[in-house]
Amino acid sequence: MDASFAAEEVIRPWRRAAIFAGSIAALELVLLLAAVGLMVAKPLSHAIRSHAEATASTPVKHAVAAPPPIPKPKPPPAAKIARDRLSILVLNGNGQNGAAAAAAARLQRLGYRIAATANAKRQDYAATVVLYKPGFAGEGARLAHDLGVKVVGPLDGIPRSALHGGQLAVILGA
pTM beyond 0.75, yes or no: no
In a domain, 138, yes or no: yes
User: What is the spatial order of strands in the sheet that 151-154 belongs to?
Assistant: 113-119, 87-92, 168-172, 129-132, 151-154
Domain boundary among 41, 57, 73: 57
Q: Does 124 lie in the same domain as 48?
A: no
- Total residues belonging to the chain: 174
Tell me the torsion sign for CA atoms 112, 117, 122, 123.
positive
What domain range is 168 assigned to? 83-172
What confidence tier does 4 reach under pLDDT thresholds 50, 70, 90?
low
Tell me the torsion sign for CA atoms 76, 136, 146, 97.
negative
Q: How many domains does the chain have?
A: 2
Q: Does 103 lie in the same domain as 168?
A: yes
44-103 pLDDT tens trace:
888 888 888 877 777 767 777 888 888 887 887 888 999 999 999 999 999 899 999 999
77-94 pLDDT tens trace:
888 999 999 999 999 999
- State how far Cα 25 lies from the chain centre: 65
Q: Does 90 lie in the same domain as 40?
A: no
* Separation of alpha carbons 99 and 93, rounded Å: 9
Cβ-count burial 90-118 (b if 16+ within 10 Å, e if not): bbbbbeeeebbeebbeebeeeebebbbbe
In a domain, 63, yes or no: no
